[in-house]
């Protein structure tokens, strides 16, 4: 299983359009020693010498079956596939219907002849539709796409992998994390999806024991001071593990990774609000990192 982090940013990405904060400036033009460090970590260095955190997407290649599974359709789909030169997907999973995870699906037009798109079948009280139904209605004009509704916590097979959607907590919308497992090699990838720290117990059990965990970590905990709702799900020292109500803090994601016993963890869905001196430190991921799980 070869995992490529196509998009590791939040909904505005880094650099953010028209932002001249120190973090975005550092991403556009990192000092030489940081650039070399990031390159050594597997980051893709752009033609301009910078690094990126584009909107969220993960590419999972099965070398046994020569098939590719895409997790979420980033609005940066085109740029990501040009930049990383990974194969186009044979199937995909959509975690939830927010712009930064779904609105790249239209890029499949004239690129892909047939694509199964898996998504949860549970009706969201907020929208009156399941994620699968929203994807199907939003992209009804795309004949190439077949939406495959699936029941959360029941595994299904695609691209030679066992995939399981796990409910997480990203109010007000229903959202799912997932696991991707190769039963032949035992490799396991876990992705939290967009979520606060309050992930239900049965989802935690499914996410546990991964070779690689991709955990969302929008901001560091100290930025909860600037959220109108502050933080939530505090640890014993009073550090918030949730930012507002929808997302994990860096500290929350690191705690979660420890609890889930992940062999390796990368923090994703990272916002440009991290101070520049924290934004490129481990274990925060940048676009282009690749991992082979076996
Ligand atoms: Zn910025
Ligand atoms: Zn979201
Ligand atoms: Zn998101």
Task: Give the pLDDT of residue 123.
Answer: 98
Going from the Cα of 94 to the center of ligand 3, the distance in angstroms, rounded, reads 11
User: Tell me, what's the pLDDT at 285?
Assistant: 98
CA distance 131 to 206: 20
* CA of residue 30 to ligand 1 center, whole Å: 14
Question: What does pLDDT average to over the chain?
Answer: 97
Between the alpha carbon of residue 246 and those of residues 6, 143, 216, 233, 249, the distances in Å are 23, 34, 11, 12, 10
How confident is the model at residue 243, as a pLDDT? 98
User: Quick one: pLDDT band at residue 181, thresholds 50, 70, 90?
Assistant: very high
Q: Residue 116: its pLDDT value, please? A: 98
Distance (Å) from CA 230 to ligand 1 centroid:
21
Tell me, in angstroms, the distance from the centre of ligand 1 to residue 83's CA: 22
pLDDT at 194: 98
Q: Residue 24 C-alpha to ligand 1 middle, in angstroms?
A: 4
User: Which ligand is in closest contact with the Cα of 7?
Assistant: 3
Distance 217 CA to ligand 2 centre (A): 12
pLDDT for residue 28: 98
> Minimum-distance ligand to the CA of 9?
3
> CB-based burial of residue 128 (10 Å sphere; 0-12 exposed, 13-18 middle, 19+ buried)?
exposed
pLDDT digits (tens, 9 = 90+) for 119-157: 999 999 999 999 999 999 999 999 999 999 999 999 999
Collapsed DSSP state (helix, strand, coil) of residue 2: strand
The pLDDT confidence band at residue 105, using thresholds 50, 70 and 90, is: very high
Q: What is the value of pTM for the model shown?
A: 0.98
- Segment 162-172 shows an average pLDDT of 98
CA of residue 22 to ligand 1 center, whole Å: 7
Give the separation between CA 278 and CA 47, rounded to whole angstroms.
Answer: 24
C-alpha dist (Å) from residue 282 to 41, 44, 279: 10, 16, 9
Mean of the pLDDT values across residues 173-178? 98
How is residue 219 annotated by DSSP?
B
Residue 232 confidence (pLDDT):
98
């Amino acid at each position: 299983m070869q995992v490529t982090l196509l998009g590791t940013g939040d909904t505005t990405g880094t650099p953010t359009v028209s932002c001249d904060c120190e973090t975005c400036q550092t991403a556009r033009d990192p000092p030489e020693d940081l650039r070399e460090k990031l390159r050594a970590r597997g980051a893709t260095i752009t033609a301009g010498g910078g690094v990126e955190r584009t909107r969220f997407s993960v590419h999972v290649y099965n070398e046994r079956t020569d098939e590719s599974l895409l997790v979420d359709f980033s609005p940066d789909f085109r740029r990501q596939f040009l930049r990383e030169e990974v194969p186009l997907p044979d199937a995909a999973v959509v975690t939830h219907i927010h712009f930064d995870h779904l609105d790249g699906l239209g890029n499949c037009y004239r690129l892909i002849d047939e694509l199964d798109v898996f998504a949860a079948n549970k009706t969201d009280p907020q929208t009156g539709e399941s994620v699968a139904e929203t994807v199907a209605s939003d992209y009804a004009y795309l004949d190439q796409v077949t939406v495959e509704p699936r029941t959360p916590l029941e595994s299904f097979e695609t691209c030679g992998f066992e995939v399981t959607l796990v409910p997480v907590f990203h109010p007000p919308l229903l959202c799912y994390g997932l696991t991707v497992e190769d039963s032949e090699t035992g490799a396991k990838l876990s992705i939290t999806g967009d979520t606060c720290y309050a992930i239900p117990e049965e989802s935690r059990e499914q996410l546990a024991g991964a070779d690689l965990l991709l955990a969302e970590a929008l901001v560091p905990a100290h930025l909860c001071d600037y959220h109108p709702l502050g933080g939530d799900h505090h640890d014993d020292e009073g550090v918030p593990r949730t930012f507002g109500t929808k997302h994990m803090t860096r500290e929350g994601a690191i705690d979660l990774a420890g609890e889930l016993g992940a062999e390796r963890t990368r923090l994703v869905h990272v916002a440009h609000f991290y101070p520049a001196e924290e934004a490129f430190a481990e274990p925060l991921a940048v676009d282009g990192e690749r991992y082979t799980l076996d």
